[in-house]
Amino acid sequence: MLNELMTALQAVATLQNFLIMAAGIWGGVIIGAIPGMTGTMAVTLALPFTFYMDPVPSILLLVALYKGSTYGGSVSAILIRTPGTASAACTALDGYPLAQQGKAGKALNMALYSSVVGDFFSNISLIFLAAPLAILALKVGPPEYFMLMVFALTTVAGVSGNSLLMGLLSACFGLLLATAGEDMYGSFRFAFTGDMQAGLSVAPVLIGLFALPELIKLIVFRNPPKARAMALGDDRVSGKEFRGVAKTLFRGSFIGVILGAIPGIGPSAAAFFSYGSAQRSSPRGQNFGKGEIEGVAASESANNGACGATMIPLLALGVPGDVITGVMLGAFMIQGLTPGPLLFETNIHEVYMLFIGMLLSSVLLLFAGKFTMRIFTTIAKIPPTLLSPVVLLLCLFGIYAIGNSMFDVVVLLALGLVGFGMYLLDIPTAPFLIAFILGPMIEENLRRALATSRGDPMVLLSSPITWIFAALILFVVALTARREIGKANQRKAEAQ
Amino acid sequence: MTSTTLRGLGIALFFGIVIWVLIPGYVPKPAFLPGFALPPDFWPRVISIAGLVFGLIAAGLGLAGQGTPALPAEVAEDDTPMGTLLARLGLLVAAFVAFVLLVDVIGFLAAAILLTGAGILLTGERRLLAWGAGLALILPVCLYLFFTEALGTQFPPGLLFN
Q: Say what the ipTM of the complex is.
A: 0.92
Reported as a pLDDT band with limits 50, 70 and 90, residue B15 is: very high
Q: What pLDDT is recorded for position A377?
A: 65
For chain A, how many structural domains are there in total? 1
Q: Read off the pLDDT of each residue in B2-28 and give the average, rounded to a whole number.
A: 92
Instruction: Sort out which chain B residues have CB atoms less than 8 A from A389's CB and list them.
Output: 116, 119-120, 123, 132, 135-136
Q: Which of residues 213-232 of A touch B (CB under 8 A)?
A: 215-216, 218-223
Q: Which long-range contacts (CB under 8 A, 24 or more apart) does B151-154 make?
A: B151/A52, B151/A401, B153/A400, B153/A401, B153/A404, B154/A404
- Return d(Cα A321, Cα B100) in angstroms, integer: 34
Question: pLDDT for A391-404, tens place per residue?
Answer: 888 888 888 887 78
pLDDT band at A82 (very low <50, low <70, confident <90, very high): low
Q: Do A426 and B155 touch (CB under 8 A)?
A: no
Which three-class secondary structure string do you get for A65-112? HHHHHHHHHHHHHHHHCCCCCHHHHHHHHHHHHHHHCCCHHHHHHHHH
Tell if the CB–CB gap between B44 and A394 is shorter than 8 Å.
no
Gap between the Cα atoms of A469 and A445, Å rounded: 15
From chain B, the residues in CB contact with A423 under 8 A are 72
**Helical pair A15-33 and A348-372, crossing angle rounded to 10 deg:** 50
Beta-carbon count within 10 A of A191 CB: 18
* Closest to A446 (Cα-Cα) out of B51, B33, B47, B135: B47
Pick from A191, A423, A446: which is nearest to B72 by CB?
Answer: A423
Q: Is the CB of B16 inside 8 Å of chain A's CB atoms?
A: no
Q: Please say whether the beta carbons of A377 and A30 come within 8 A.
A: no
Contact A223 B78 (CB under 8 A): yes
What pLDDT score was predicted for residue B44?
Answer: 94
In B86-115, the residues whose Cβ lies within 8 Å of chain A are 88-89, 92-93, 96, 99-100, 103, 108, 112, 115
Choose, out of B123, B138, B142, the residue to mutate when testing the contact with A (most A CBs < 10 Å).
B123
Residue A417: the pLDDT is: 95
Query: Do A392 and B139 make contact, defined as CB atoms within 8 angstroms?
Result: no
Separation of alpha carbons B133 and B116, rounded Å: 9
Q: Going by C-beta distance under 8 Å and a sequence separation of 6 or more, which residues neighbour residue B5?
A: B59, B62, B63
Q: What pLDDT band is residue A271 in, cutting at 50, 70 and 90?
A: confident
Q: What is the pLDDT of residue A228?
A: 58
pLDDT higher for B88 or A346?
A: B88
Interface residue A246 vs chain B (CB under 8 A): no
Closest chain A residue by Cα to residue B94: A413
Span A262-276, average pLDDT: 78
Q: Which residues of chain A make contact with B120, given a CB cutoff of 8 A? A: 385-386, 389
Dihedral angle over CA of A140, A144, A149, A153, nearest 10: -150
Closest-CA residue in chain B for A174?
Answer: B47
Residue B115 β-bridge partners: none
C-alpha angle A216-A221-A225 in degrees, rounded to nearest 5: 95
User: Which of chain A's residues have a Cβ under 8 Å away from the Cβ of B55?
Assistant: 169
| Cα–Cα dist A381/A30, whole Å | 12
Q: Which positions 133-152 of B are in contact with A (Cβ < 8 Å)?
A: 135-136, 139-140, 143-144, 147, 151
Higher pLDDT, A139 or A166: A166
Give the mean pLDDT of chain A. 83
Sequence-ordered list of residues with C-beta below 8 angstroms from that of A396, at least 6 positions apart, any chain: A409, A412, B99, B112, B115
B interface test, pick of A396, A409, A460 with most B CB neighbours within 10 Å: A396
Which residues of chain B neighbour A165 with C-beta distances below 8 Å?
A: 54, 57-58, 61, 67
Kindly list the residues from chain B whose CB atom is less than 8 angstroms away from the CB atom of residue A189. Answer: 26-27, 40-41, 44
Percent of chain B at pLDDT above 70? 98
CA distance B50 to A67: 37
Q: Of B42, B47, B131, which has the smallest distance from its Cβ to A386's Cβ? A: B131
Of B33, B151, B156, the CB nearest to A401: B151
* Beta carbons within 10 angstroms of residue A481's beta carbon: 13
At residue A410 the predicted structure's pLDDT band, cuts being 50, 70 and 90, is very high
A417 and B96 within 8 Å at the Cβ level: the answer is yes
pLDDT of residue A163: 85
State the SS3 of chain A. CHHHHHHHHHHHCCHHHHHHHHHHHHHHHHHHHCCCCCHHHHHHHHHHHHCCCCHHHHHHHHHHHHHHHHHHHHHHHHHHCCCCCHHHHHHHHHHHHHHHCCCHHHHHHHHHHHHHHHHHHHHHHHHHHHHHHHHHHCCCCHHHHHHHHHHHHHHHHHHCCCCHHHHHHHHHHHHHHHCCEECCCCCEECCCCHHHHHCCCHHHHHHHHHCHHHHHHHHHHCCCCCCCCCCCCCCCCCHHHHHHCHHHHHHHHHHHHHHHHCCCCHHHHHHHHHHHHHHHHCCCHHHCCCCCHHHHHHHHHHHHHHHHHCHHHHHHHCCCCCHHHHHHHHHHHHCCCCCCCCHHHHCHHHHHHHHHHHHHHHHHHHHHHHHHHHHHHHHCCCCHHHHHHHHHHHHHHHHHHHHCCHHHHHHHHHHHHHHHHHHHCCCCCHHHHHHHHHHHHHHHHHHHHHHHCCCCHHHHHCCHHHHHHHHHHHHHHHHHHHHHHHHHHHHHHHHC
Give the per-residue pLDDT at A169: 94
DSSP assignment string, chain B: --HHHHHHHHHHHHHHHIIIIIHHHH-PPPS---TTPPPTTHHHHHHHHHHHHHHHHHHHHHHTT-S--SS-HHHHT--S-HHHHHHHHHHHHHHHHHHHHHHHHH-HHHHHHHHHHHHHHHTT--TTHHHHHHHHHHHHHHHHHIIIIIS-------TTT-
CB-based contact, A477 to chain B, within 8 Å: no
CB distance A406–B156 less than 8 Å? yes
Q: Which residue has the higher pLDDT, B91 or A261?
A: B91
Percent of chain A past pLDDT 90, that is, above it, reads 12
Tens-digit pLDDT profile for residues A104-129: 888 888 998 998 999 889 988 988 88
Q: pLDDT tier at A329 (50, 70, 90 boundaries)?
A: confident
Interface contact flag, B80 A221, Cβ < 8 Å: yes
Mean pLDDT within A279-290? 83
What is the rounded average pLDDT of the residues A135-153? 84
pLDDT digits (tens, 9 = 90+) for A203-220: 788 778 877 888 898 888
pTM of the entire predicted model: 0.79
In a 10 Å sphere around its CB, with 0-12 CB exposed, 13-18 middle and 19+ buried, how is residue A387 labelled?
Answer: buried
A410/B100 touch (CB, cutoff 8 Å), yes or no: yes
- pLDDT for the residue A234: 66
Burial class (CB in 10 A: 0-12, 13-18, 19+), A150: buried
* Residue-wise pLDDT tens digits, A297-319: 998 899 888 888 888 888 888 88
pLDDT tens-digit readout, A13-24: 888 888 998 889
Q: Report which of A263, A295, A259, A258 is spatially closest to residue A280, judged by C-alpha positions.
A: A295
pLDDT at A226: 57
Using a CB-CB cut-off of 8 Å, the residues of chain B touching A400 are 108, 153, 155
User: What confidence score (pLDDT) does residue A35 get?
Assistant: 64
B52 lies within 8 A of chain A by CB: no
Question: Do B66 and A488 count as a contact with CB atoms less than 8 A apart?
Answer: yes
Enumerate the residues of chain B whose CB falls inside 8 A of the CB of residue A192.
26
Chain B interface includes A383 (CB < 8 A): yes
For residue B80, is pLDDT > 60? yes
Range of the domain at A353: 2-495
Q: What is the pLDDT of residue A36?
A: 61
User: Given this model, what pLDDT does residue A381 score?
Assistant: 67
Query: Does residue B113 contact residue B94 with C-beta atoms inside 8 Å?
Result: no
Return residues 408-437 of A near B (CB < 8 Å). Answer: 409-410, 413, 417, 420, 423-426
Q: Look at chain A and count its residues.
A: 496
Q: Render pLDDT for B19-72 as a digit per residue (tens, 0 to 9).
A: 999 999 998 887 777 777 788 899 999 999 999 999 999 999 888 877 777 777
pLDDT score of B114: 94
Q: How far is CA A255 from CA A116, A155, A305, A430, B17, in A?
A: 15, 18, 8, 22, 45
- B120 has a chain A CB within 8 A of its CB: yes
Contacts of A410 in chain B (CB under 8 A): 100
The tens digit of pLDDT for each residue in A426-461 reads 898 888 988 888 888 889 889 888 888 888 888 888
* Cβ neighbours of A169 in B, within 8 Å: 11, 51, 54-55, 58
